[in-house]
Amino acid sequence: MTRGRDRRSDGERAGANEMRGQMTIVAAVATLCGSIGLYPLFVSGGWFWSGLGAVAAVSGAGALVRRYRLPALVNLAGGLAALHVYVTIVYASDRAFLGIIPTPASSMRVAELVGEGWQAANTYAAPVPLIPAISLLTTLGIGLVAALVDLLAVRLRRAAPAGLPLLAMYSVPAAIREESISWLAFAIGAAGYLWLLLADARVQVTSWGRPVFTSRWSEDAPRDQASSGALVLTGRRIGVTAVMAALLLPSLVPGIQPKGFFGVGGTGEGGRGARTVTTLDPLVSLKRELTRTDDAVVLTFRSTEPQPDYLRLYALDRFDGDRWTYSELSSGPRDKIKDRDLPAAPGLTLPAAGRTTTKVAIGDRVDLKFLPLPYPPTRVDIDGDWRVHSESLMVYSLRDAAGGRDYTVNSLKVAPSAAQLDATGPASPQVLGQFTRVPSTVPDRVREIAENVTKSATSPYQKAMLLQEWFTNGQFVYSLEAPPPKRVSDLMDFLETTKAGYCEQFAAAMALMARELKIPARVAMGYTPGTPDANGNWVVRSRDTHAWPELYFAGIGWVRFEPTPSGATGQGTATIPQYAVPAAAAAPGLPSSPTGSDSVVPTPTTPGSPGAAVQRPRDPDNITTPTGVSGSTGTQVPYGLIAGAGVALLLLLTPMTTRLLTRRRRWAQVAGDATDDVRSTHAARAAWAELRADAIDYRVDWRAAESPRAVAKRLARQLNLGGTAADALTRIAMAEERARYAPSPGQTQTLRADSRLMRKTFAAAGNRRTRVRARLFPASTMAAYRAAFGRLLDVLDRFDAFAFTGRWRWRTRSSSPR
């Protein structure tokens, strides 16, 4: 007896170990399925294979720990240790012992890469390049999730809470991207989690012990496992329904998904909720654009102004101690600009010197969510869903891109004189509080330098002029070799040591020094006007990307200054506005600023010249009058609403269409038969099938066990039929009876007309609700849909059973003994 009990114990332990091994595989697959949700964050898919290796290492270590029945904490520690070994082999093998065993040097290298990856992740906007540091960070994240899922689902047998770390992988792209995650990626992750739950349920049921079999049990079912039967089928239906609800509800509920289902219901298409618009770092691409070797055309424009001003993209009003960026933009439907004037420019009460109309054509391959505009714009005519931030007049879109678009901008020409700027009073306390804020981490040395440079000034305007002249008096050098500033120490190095940089350093430094002097300031980024071509267009290239400071003066608002050196030794197309030109250089007849060829990227811009860019600028429409162009005023076609309504209508009509096609197919088969006997037999079967389907559709009682003659008698009595209807029903029943038992069904030429008559008879016997339901949602077709769905669930049940038993169940359990 003891040996028997021991043998059973050994068998039970072997079965438990086998179940844990299977659960380990399922948990690993669920983690990999969940990691697919990270795909929008990267420009390439190499991260997945690195994550696959991490999941394999963690799962293998967990299985090894469980084999020796070690505590749960050791399970987690073993997984993390295996993850450490894996990343050491992949990313720091040159510093590991024998290329495998971690050492202090290899661990330091991994830590350095983690720091670099974290910094890069906060610098680049998604999708990010897959540099080793970012790949390592992703691998560690996936490996950590794998360790938690393995601990919860396999070791602790708590599969439901394992969904939390899986959900964490979806929260990362959802938090930093504007666009929603693909429904397919979500479905794959949800399927992995459902499989994990189903596998855990199967293990729990099996652990109850040996099942008690009855005669109703399937002969081909495994005798050592309990079948879940109808309960499992119900569970799968609930699971599939939950996945479908999770896929559709976020698309239909306003505020959860940017665009809603086909653009319907989401705030991006007019929903009532507000959205928050953010980018990680607007300045991150500045140097990349300035140093592009192809010097591609970004846009072309025509302006009613002989010397156009800069085209601004961003107004960066927040300095976090290291970098300039803009505050979060809360966007709602009232911010849409379609067929509306833009809000008034903040702080501007000075009468405008004129109005400017600019027609812009953006290059097809340009990826912009913000529109380049002359400041201050008053109206923008463009197709699509575009919005304005009233405090900065930045125009952006939640879903559309500017690439390949043409639009028209009306703007004011603000030309304050030096005297007017010098005479302005103090800004309001609100403006001072928001735009002179400086973090405590900024060294006092910045304020000391600013005060020393401007000690002779008596007004904010004079201080601004002295700051600008300090940067442009020759002691600072324009250089694209300088690294982009990443922290305030880089700025101090620029101010006191190297004194070499490009527009970002100059703009950021002057704006920060102005704030230290209590002058409201921010950094703007966009494009200089570029260079004119032979056709009167202004051509803006990547080298014309620029950053500059904007300072606020009461009654005039935001005005730009230009501390970056221009001309042949600086930013080639930068210009100094007339009000900011030093008095010595503002002699009559002189231009407001020197302009010259760009010495950094000496690419000719005249069409047809050698070395000119291959891409030709698109020519926007000619402008004939300064104010005569209003742009497109047509109503935007709601393509998303139309598509959503079309899909809903298609789904609504699908059952009815399927019923009509089924009827047509049956009678078309009769017409295509070759011989009279075959044609008559098929006609009898088609008429009987239509009689049955029509009875089911119109809720007339149908009893499958009755003979055709019994059906005819009962229906005639139930519906009180007589005359032609009773004769038609009798002919259909007799034809079916002869098709079953006689060599020939006899004469069947009238069966199609008889079938049509019986359908009308059934419809007349029912009420209006029954007739509408029979046409739109015929019960015979809906039953076919349910049967197909049941077969799909049965396939899922077979896959699930195959994963745990290694045997494919070709037949299902019979409902009753044979």
**Sheet with 521-527: strands ordered across:** 311-316, 521-527, 545-553, 557-560
**CA distances for 325 relative to 328, 475, 522, angstroms:** 9, 28, 9
> Could you give the count of Cα atoms lying within 13 Å of 266 in the half-sphere of its Cβ?
25
Residue 355 above 90 pLDDT? yes
Cα separation, 299 vs 540, in Å, equals 5
Residue with tokens 């075959």: 678
Over residues 114-129, the mean pLDDT reads 70
Model confidence at 119, in pLDDT bands (50, 70, 90)?
confident
Question: What does the pLDDT read at residue 598?
Answer: 34
Lowest-confidence pick of 130-139, 182-191, 284-293, 622-631: 622-631
Question: What does the pLDDT read at residue 726?
Answer: 87
Question: What does the pLDDT read at residue 546?
Answer: 92
Q: Which residues pair with 546 in a beta bridge?
A: 526
Question: What does the pLDDT read at residue 641?
Answer: 62
Cα separation, 392 vs 375, in Å, equals 10
Residue 263 above 50 pLDDT? no
Model confidence at 67, in pLDDT bands (50, 70, 90)?
confident
Contact 521, 552 (CB under 8 A): yes
Question: What does the pLDDT read at residue 70?
Answer: 80
**Mean pLDDT: which of 357-361, 703-707, 728-732 is highest?**
357-361
Question: What does the pLDDT read at residue 243?
Answer: 55
Cα separation, 191 vs 241, in Å, equals 12
Tell me the pLDDT tens digit for each residue of 534-573. Answer: 888 999 998 899 999 999 999 999 999 999 998 888 888 8
Residue 758 above 70 pLDDT? yes
Contact 293, 543 (CB under 8 A): no
Model confidence at 75, in pLDDT bands (50, 70, 90)?
confident
Cα separation, 732 vs 665, in Å, equals 19
Residue 95 above 90 pLDDT? no
Question: Phi, psi at residue 440, to the nearest 5°?
Answer: -70, -15
Residue 805: partners with Cβ closer than 8 Å, 6 or more residues away: 222, 225
Cα separation, 325 vs 282, in Å, equals 7
CA dihedral (392, 396, 398, 399) in degrees, to 10, reads 180
Lowest-confidence pick of 164-178, 228-242, 373-387, 486-500: 228-242
Question: What does the pLDDT read at residue 232?
Answer: 52
Mean pLDDT of the chain: 77
Identity of the residue numbered 376: P
Model confidence at 625, in pLDDT bands (50, 70, 90)?
very low
Lowest-confidence pick of 169-183, 297-311, 334-348: 169-183
Model confidence at 93, in pLDDT bands (50, 70, 90)?
confident
Q: Extract the tokens encoding 144.
A: 């950590």
Residue 197 above 90 pLDDT? no
Lowest-confidence pick of 75-84, 110-119, 471-480: 110-119
Q: Which residues pair with 97 in a beta bridge?
A: 101
DSSP letter for 45, please.
S
Contact 95, 10 (CB under 8 A): no
Question: What does the pLDDT read at residue 591?
Answer: 41
Residue 410 above 90 pLDDT? yes
Lowest-confidence pick of 300-304, 370-374, 802-806: 802-806
Model confidence at 522, in pLDDT bands (50, 70, 90)?
very high
Higher pLDDT, 281 or 527: 527
Over residues 379-383, the mean pLDDT reads 93
Strands 531-532 and 318-319: unpaired
Lowest-confidence pick of 269-273, 603-607, 667-671, 755-759: 603-607
Give the percent of the chain with pLDDT over 90: 21
**CA distances for 802 relative to 191, 221, 237, angstroms:** 17, 11, 19
Lowest-confidence pick of 607-611, 684-688, 718-722: 607-611
Higher pLDDT, 345 or 614: 345
Over residues 720-726, the mean pLDDT reads 87
**Mean pLDDT: which of 241-255, 283-297, 368-382, 719-733 is highest?**
368-382
